Amino acid sequence: MPPSILVVGGGIIGCATAYELAKAGCRVTVLERNTPGGEASGAAAGLLAPLGESREPGPFQTLAVESWRLYPKVVEELEAVTGMNVQYVTAGTVYPLLGGPEIEAARERMTWPLARELGVEVLEGARLREREPALADDIPAALFVQGDHWVNNERLVAAYAQAAAGRGVVIRSGVEVSEILVEAGRVRGVVAGGARLEADAVLLAAGAWSGQLMVSRRGTSRGERLPVEPVRGQILCVSNSPPLLGHAVHGRSVYLVPRPSGELLVGATVEHVGFAREVTDEAIERLIDEAVSLVPGIGARALLSSWCGFRPWAPDSLPILGPWPGVDGLFVATAHFRNGILLAPITAHLVGQCVLAGRAPALLGPFLPDRFFPATP
Ligand SMILES: Cc1cc2nc3c(=O)[nH]c(=O)nc-3n(C[C@H](O)[C@H](O)[C@H](O)COP(=O)(O)OP(=O)(O)OC[C@H]3O[C@@H](n4cnc5c(N)ncnc54)[C@H](O)[C@@H]3O)c2cc1C
């Protein structure tokens, strides 16, 4: 009998991993308290930029680049299976550079082994204006990353969910998990909607809410939670019709993403304000001011909409991926913070392998949950 797996949370991480596990033959049920993609995964900007957050080599960058490499094939597969268009674009991102030292550091990056694969260039003066005429005149130079992709993340989660359902995954919307059942150091299932649901394994992928569920490890009587907290992101959308920008632009505190739909996303704030589900006038004004300083033409564009979402964040800002120490059969995939859309394919692949094999692949080493828990006495 193939193993049964309950996935708590139907965001991009839960849906993508459910799809991978179902492809490997598992019997998977996703338990989602609202609707799949209704939280951070639907609120995101969909920028898939492995150098966006971390331009320094290290385990996070390795994970990000591995996921970026998987994207073309993932998109091709999901579009073929579902018939959906996820508005996947590879047109490159402009990272403005503000002065001599930044330009020097960027030139050095051109010698990186990854530079050729990602299509990294330093553009200055007329060459920069030719590439992206809408940029402000006082931006002297930019790092241009030709290989950055972006995607319509709402459609992508829907495509993952539809593809998963096509593989037999049961997606139960409107079902809230209130407890993870652990007996004698082994996960037995969950309590959802007041009912006990049993399974061979449970994957906790509840995004910013992952820290709300308590788990008791073997050898400890107290319950423990993941140290995951919400970080609010407010984001807005102006018209990009007629087209103002042909590339994404990633400034210091704001990024701009032109979608094929004619929308231009301007994101996003990074706020530790708990689960305050609110878009504020101050944040919208600041985002617009910063966007205008990069691309003055945005000042004349109509504001179409604004919204917010809660990124799942861990205190070291890194994802938490792998087995829960001391509880057989319980796994975690959360805390993707600002990069959950980018990291979804590699998370699904590696966490899927981990659930199937019962141990973590080497790439997950720096992201294991046990970094937050002292050893079991
Ligand atoms: C404004 C903004 C812009 C962003 N831009 C980007 C970007 O450009 N690129 C990028 O890569 N990332 C971006 N991100 C980050 C990305 O959105 C997140 O890292 C990612 O969506 C996290 O996915 P998730 O599945 O873990 O969480 P979520 O999408 O939040 O999904 C978790 C799900 O779990 C459900 N749930 C919670 N508790 C329970 C429970 N007890 N029982 C049942 N269900 C439960 C929730 O309802 C939710 O649907 C952005 C985020 C924001 C907010």
| Cβ(13) – ligand 1 distance below 6 Å | yes
Determine the pLDDT at residue 104: 87
Q: What percent of the chain has pLDDT over 70?
A: 98
Q: Residue 129: which pLDDT band, with cuts at 50, 70 and 90?
A: very high
Q: What is the mean pLDDT of residues 358-377?
A: 88
Is residue 219 predicted with pLDDT exceeding 70?
Answer: no
Encode 149-168: b = buried (16+ Cβ within 10 Å), e = exposed.
bbbbbbbbbbbbbbbbbebe
pLDDT tens, 12-27?
A: 999 999 999 999 999 9
Query: Nearest residue CA, atom 45 of ligand 1?
Result: 9
| Cβ(237) – ligand 1 distance below 6 Å | no
Asked whether the domain spanning 229-313 has the same topology as the one spanning 4-45+154-227+315-372, the reply is: no
Mean residue pLDDT across the chain: 94
pLDDT tens, 261-310?
A: 999 999 999 999 999 999 999 999 999 999 999 999 999 999 999 999 99
Query: Nearest residue CA, atom 35 of ligand 1?
Result: 9
Topology of the domain comprising 4-45+154-227+315-372: FAD/NAD(P)-binding domain (3.50.50)
| Cβ(211) – ligand 1 distance below 6 Å | no
Topology of the domain comprising 229-313: D-Amino Acid Oxidase; Chain A, domain 2 (3.30.9)
Residue 8 CA, ligand 1 centroid: distance in Å: 13
Determine the pLDDT at residue 243: 94
Q: Which residues pair with 4 in a beta bridge?
A: 27
List, in order, residues 6 or more apart from 338 with CB less than 8 Å away. Answer: 52, 53, 233, 270, 311
Is residue 132 predicted with pLDDT exceeding 90?
Answer: yes
Q: To test ligand 1's pocket by mutation, which of 209, 215, 249, 284 has the most ligand atoms within 8 angstroms of CB?
A: 209
Query: What is the residue type of 253?
Result: S
Return the domain boundaries, the chain: 4-45+154-227+315-372, 93-146, 229-313
Q: What is the mean pLDDT of residues 129-157?
A: 95
Q: Which residues pair with 313 in a beta bridge?
A: 229
| Cβ(40) – ligand 1 distance below 6 Å | yes
221: how many CB neighbours lie within 10 A of its CB? 6
pLDDT tens, 277-287?
A: 999 999 999 99
Ligand 1: which atom is nearest the Cα of residue 42?
A: 29
Q: To test ligand 1's pocket by mutation, which of 32, 232, 271 has the most ligand atoms within 8 angstroms of CB?
A: 32
| Cβ(39) – ligand 1 distance below 6 Å | yes
